[in-house]
Each structure stands twice: as structure tokens, then as C-alpha cells.
Amino acid sequence: MRPQQRQFQFISGHLALDFVNTVAYRLNPSKFRDYLETAADVTAWAKEARLLETDRIASTQSIARDGISRLLALRERLYRLFRAIALGKLISDRRLELLNNDLLHCRDKQRLSGRDGVVRWDWLKQMNSTDRIFCPVILQTVELLTSGDHSLIKQCDDQDCGWLFLDRSQAKRRKWCSMADCGNRAKARRHYQQFTKQ
């Protein structure tokens, strides 16, 4: 979550959470930074997330302004949903209804295809770039929600960070989005406090 670094990070263990983590210092308005401000930003993230093929992203114009607004609205909606889960709250019917609408929209963009005896879901070729990001995020969100184990979904303990992740550690006691960032800062703070007490 270092704002000075431009590259995106994929440390949450889940596509939808990585998408939500495209802001820095979410919980501190004075340090807050959005990494998805322009079509070029969104395209770069989608490319790193392997949602857009290289040949489709030659033109950053392919994601329209309203497409970006739609993606950012989804990101903030998913943040509230996953944060509620991380806090142990129940998912409201309203949130599920919105997800159901998104799911219907995205399922309509899929078709079954068979290749070499393997049947799989394919996205429609004429699908626009916004949906190529929006729909995989929605489908993986639904998959995560229906997998049953919501206790894996956690929010970083740092007071400013706000990043979300899946805690797949054996002891289930992962506290930080990343040891290299928030974990290290917490360690440095503890050392400093110990030092100043002496």
C-alpha cells in the first residue's frame, strides 16, 4: 500500500479483494490515494490481473468514462460488503439482491464451449472491456461468498490501511495485508515504543 509505488499489488489471495485494494490508505482521508483514476490505470490493473488480453488493450480508449464509474462503484460496494463480513456481520438481503442483478448480467455474457472433450465457460467475444473486468470480479465474489468459509476474509490491522485479504495461514492469525508494509511499520512502532519507555 505504498502510494509512491505505482505498480499494483496482488497480495490478498483473491481477485475481488485485490480489486478492492486498488486504493492506498483507505481509512485515512489525508493520505488516501486512488490507483484507478484513469482508463489507463484501469487497463493497466486489468492487464496485471490477466483479465484483458494484450491485443485488446492496445487502446486505453476502450474503457469509457461511464465504464470506470461503474467499476469504481462496484469496488466501493464490494469493500463495504467484505468489510462487513470481516467484522462478522451478516450480509443484508439488499446487498445480495444487487449481487444477484450483477450475476444475471454477467451470466448472460457467458456461453458453454467444448474443446478436446472439455466443457468450459467462455466469455462472449463481443463483450466490452468494462464487463471483461466487472464480470470476472463478480463471479469470483459470488464463488467466495458461496464457498461458506467467510472467516478467511480479513481486514489489515493497520489503522490507515484498510486492505482486505484471505487469511490462509495455518494458525489463522494473519494480521497484516503484507509483512513488508503494514507488518513492518507495526514492528517498528513497537520497537520505538519499547525504546522510549526505557
Closer by beta carbon to Zn ion, 137 or else 161: 161
Burial class (CB in 10 A: 0-12, 13-18, 19+), 111: exposed
Q: How many helices (H) and strands (E) does the chain have?
A: 6, 6
20 binds Zn ion (CB under 5 A): no
What would the x/- binding string for Zn ion be over residues 158 to 177, using CB under 5 A? x--x-x-------------x
Give least dist CB 182 to Zn ion, A. Answer: 3
CB 92, CB 158: distance < 8 Å: no
Cα 156 to Cα 12, 120, 125, 173, 191, distances in angstroms: 10, 36, 38, 11, 20
Phi, psi values for residue 24, rounded to 5°: -105, 145
**63 makes contact with Zn ion (CB under 5 A):** no
Q: How far, in whole angstroms, is CA 81 from its chain's centroid?
A: 12
Distance of CA 163 to the CA centre of its chain: 9
Cβ-based nearer residue to Zn ion, 35 or 163: 163
Query: What is residue 63's DSSP assignment?
Result: S
CB of 181 to Zn ion, least distance (A): 6
Q: C-beta of 31: minimal distance to Zn ion in Å? A: 12
Min dist. Cβ of residue 33 to Zn ion (A): 14
Interactions with Zn ion, residue window 118-157 (CB under 5 A) = 156
* Residue pair 177/196 in contact by the 8 Å Cβ criterion: no
Asked if 24 is part of the footprint of Zn ion (rule: CB under 5 A), the reply reads: no
CB of 81 to Zn ion, least distance (A): 19
Would you mind telling me the total number of residues written for the chain in this entry? 198
Stretch of 101-109, 110-118, 130-138, 178-186 contacting Zn ion, by CB under 5 A: 178-186
Quick check: 182 binds Zn ion (CB under 5 A)?
yes
CA distance 49 to 28: 26
**Binding footprint of Zn ion on the chain (CB under 5 A):** 156, 158, 161, 163, 177, 182
